[in-house]
Amino acid sequence: MNAPSRGRLIVISGPSGAGKSTLLKKLFECCAGLAVSISATTRPPRPGERHAVDYYFLTPEEFQRRRNAGEFLECYEVFGRGYWYGTLVSEVAPSLEAGKSIVLEIDVQGAMAVLERYHAAITIFVHPSSTEELERRLRGRGTESEDSIQRRLEVARRELACADRYQHQVVNDDVDQAVQEICDIIRSKEV
Ligand code: 5GP
């Protein structure tokens, strides 16, 4: 009889503007059976975002209450955002217990905290193809002031400086290729 397969935590980080959302969308299409962890946050929803789909949008009081109750696997006030974000144990535990791997898209502090608790977690850092491309994407979003763009670039530089703390680094030059690389990493760790 084959041993039951075990679910793995797959932690993906990288600066905003590295094209992570498109990449993750494609990853779920291509890597069947992966679950996604919906994070909780105190930031207000952006237009089109839905509660319990994009995030669990919590008031600061509710977030704090759940934090005190030990409901988070990790939670941080994410640098440069001014809001709290966290991974709920209730998002992750059922998947792992069912032998399903689950993807967490979280910041560097969160990633390191998860790794401390789950040594078998797989950590992957997604790079933009270049810093010029990152700046182009941030500017391409349109409405942001120069101040805000500079702040986001500073956040990105801080994140990029932590890339070597991850087990794997993937450059998002070509999204299909980057997705394939991530699928290969995940498959190579399957037991
Ligand atoms: P955004 O507000 O643009 O959706 O996300 C901002 C940042 O929060 C991203 O860098 C993302 O990786 C991070 N983030 C999202 N969810 C979590 C979480 O549950 N924990 C941590 N530590 N960071 C998160």
Give the least confident one: 18-22, 38-42, 109-113. Answer: 18-22
Q: What is the pLDDT of residue 18?
A: 81
Q: Is the pLDDT of residue 190 over 80?
A: no
Distance 185 CA to ligand 1 centre (A): 22
Q: Is the pLDDT of residue 1 over 80?
A: no
> What's the mean pLDDT in 144-154?
86
Find out whether the beta carbon of 107 lies less than 6 Å from any atom of ligand 1: yes
Q: What is the pLDDT of residue 5?
A: 58
Helix, strand, coil in percent for the chain, rounding step 5: 40, 20, 35
Mean of per-residue pLDDT scores for the chain: 91
Please report the atom of ligand 1 found closest to the CA of residue 159: 10
Find out whether the beta carbon of 86 lies less than 6 Å from any atom of ligand 1: yes
**pLDDT tens-digit series, residues 52-111:** 999 999 999 999 999 999 999 999 999 777 899 999 999 999 999 999 999 999 999 999
Please report the atom of ligand 1 found closest to the CA of residue 20: 12
Find out whether the beta carbon of 95 lies less than 6 Å from any atom of ligand 1: no
Find out whether the beta carbon of 11 lies less than 6 Å from any atom of ligand 1: no
> What's the mean pLDDT in 166-190?
94
**pLDDT tens-digit series, residues 113-135:** 999 999 999 999 999 988 888 88
Distance 62 CA to ligand 1 centre (A): 18
Sheet holding 9-13, edge to edge: 35-36, 102-105, 9-13, 122-128, 168-172
Distance 81 CA to ligand 1 centre (A): 9
Whole-number Å distance between alpha carbons of 81 and 16? 11
Find out whether the beta carbon of 85 lies less than 6 Å from any atom of ligand 1: yes
Q: What is the pLDDT of residue 145?
A: 84
Distance 3 CA to ligand 1 centre (A): 35
Question: Which is nearest to 39 in space by CA: 117, 124, 123, 110?
Answer: 110
Whole-number Å distance between alpha carbons of 56 and 66? 12
What angle in degrees, to the nearest 10, is found between the helix axes of 175-188 and 20-30? 50
Tell the residue number behind the tokens 């190579």, with chain if given: 188
Q: Is the pLDDT of residue 4 over 60?
A: no
Please report the atom of ligand 1 found closest to the CA of residue 111: 22
Please report the atom of ligand 1 found closest to the CA of residue 113: 22
Q: Which CATH class is domain 9-188?
A: alpha beta
